[in-house]
Amino acid sequence: MRGWFGWLLAGLLLLPSSVMAAEIRHADHIWQDDDRLLVRVYLDVVLPDVLVEALANGIEVTLFSEVRLEYARGILGERLVKEREKSVRIRYYALSRHYVVTDPDRQRVELAPTLGDALELLAERLGRVVLDIGRERLRPDVDYTLSARVKLDHAALPLPLQWDARLRGAYVTQLGWYRWPLR
C-alpha cells in the first residue's frame, strides 16, 4: 500500500512541468509628472500548453506584473520605497471567437482575434505600470533600483487546476526580477 502511494506521489511530482515562457526584454521608465512614474516593461509572453488549452476551454487566466522601487542598504538588504501590482485577465470569447483582454485598471475590454495578438495585448497592458510617488521624496544621494516581474495568479485559477498546478508544478509562471537603476 505504502509503495503504491509512494509511486503515485512520485509520479505526480515528477511529471514534466511546462513553464510559462515569458521574458522581460527591456524595461524603462519616465516621470509623467512630479508624482507619477510610468514604468514600461517590454515583455514576450508565451503561455504553457496547459494554459493555452485551459483558455481554449473557457478558463480565464490572470497574470500579474509587479514593479518595485527600492534601494540597497548594504548587509540589511533592500529597502522598499514603493511597489505596485497590476493584473490583466485574458479569456476566450466563444461567441465572437476572439480573445478578450481585460485591464481592470482601465475598465477596458480589448479583443484579439488570435492568441498571439491577445498575448501581445496582454504584454502591452501588463507592461504599463504607474507608480504614484512624489519625486521630492527621493533622496538624490541614494541609488534607487526599479524591479519588475510577471507571475501567474494561481488563486484566480479554478480549484482543480490549482490542485494540478500545486501537485505537478505545471504552472510555474513566475519570472525572476528584472532590475534597472532609476535615473
Partner 1 sequence: MALLFLLLLTSLVLMGDAAQNSDRFEQVFLWLLAFHGLVLVALAVLIIHQFVRLIVQYREGVPGSRLTLRLVAGFMLVAVLPVTVVYYFSFKFLNEGVDSWFDVRVDGALEDALELSRSSLDLRVRQLSRETQEIMIQLEDLSEVLVPLALNDVRAQMGAQELTLVGANNRIIASSTDSPIRRLPAPPGADILLRMSPGQPFTRLEPQADGSLVIRVVAAVGDRRPGGDSRILQGVFPVDPRMSALAVRVQDAFVDYREFAYLRGPIKQGFIFTMSLALALSLMAALWAGLVVARRLVRPVTDLAEGTRLVASGDYSTRLAVGRDDELGFLVRSFNTMTRRLHEAREEAESNRRLLDAERAYLESVLQHLRSGVLALDGSLRLRTANAAACQILECDMCAEYNRFLSEFDEECPLVGQFFDAISDALVRREQEWSREVVVFTRSGRKVLMTRAVWLPDPGNNRGLHAIVFDDMTEFLRAQRDAAWGEVARRLAHEIKNPLTPIQLSAERLARRLGNTLNGTEREMLERATRTIVQQVEAMKTLVNAFRDYAQAPRLALAPLDLNGLLRDVCELYEGDGHVSRVTLDLAPKVPSIRADAGRLRQLLHNLIKNALEAVQGQSDGEVRITTESIADGHGHRVELRVADNGPGIRPDFLERIFEPYITDKPRGTGLGLAVAQKIVEEHGGIIECHNQATGGAVFVIRIPGIPGGDTERVGDEHA
The nearest distance, CB 133 to partner 1, in angstroms, is: 28
| Contact status, residue 162 vs residue 154, Cβ threshold 8 Å | yes
Phi, psi of 127 (to 5 degrees): -80, -5
Q: Which of 73, 109, 134, 139 binds partner 1 (CB under 8 A)?
A: 109
- Tell which one of 20, 67, 81, 112 touches partner 1 (CB under 8 A): 112
**Is 116 near partner 1 (CB under 8 A)?**
no
Tell me the pairing of strands 78-93 and 98-103. antiparallel
**Distance separating alpha carbons of residues 68 and 176, to the nearest angstrom:** 13
Distance separating alpha carbons of residues 56 and 17, to the nearest angstrom: 19
Work out whether 128 is an interface residue with partner 1 (CB under 8 A).
no
Give CA–CA dist 106/118, Å, rounded: 17
The stretch among 68-76, 81-89, 107-115, 134-142 that binds partner 1 (CB under 8 A) is 107-115
CB of 91 to partner 1, least distance (A): 8
Q: Which stretch binds partner 1 (CB under 8 A): 28-36, 69-77, 96-104, 123-131?
A: 96-104
In the complex, the smallest distance separating the C-beta of residue 45 from partner 1, rounded to whole angstroms, is 17
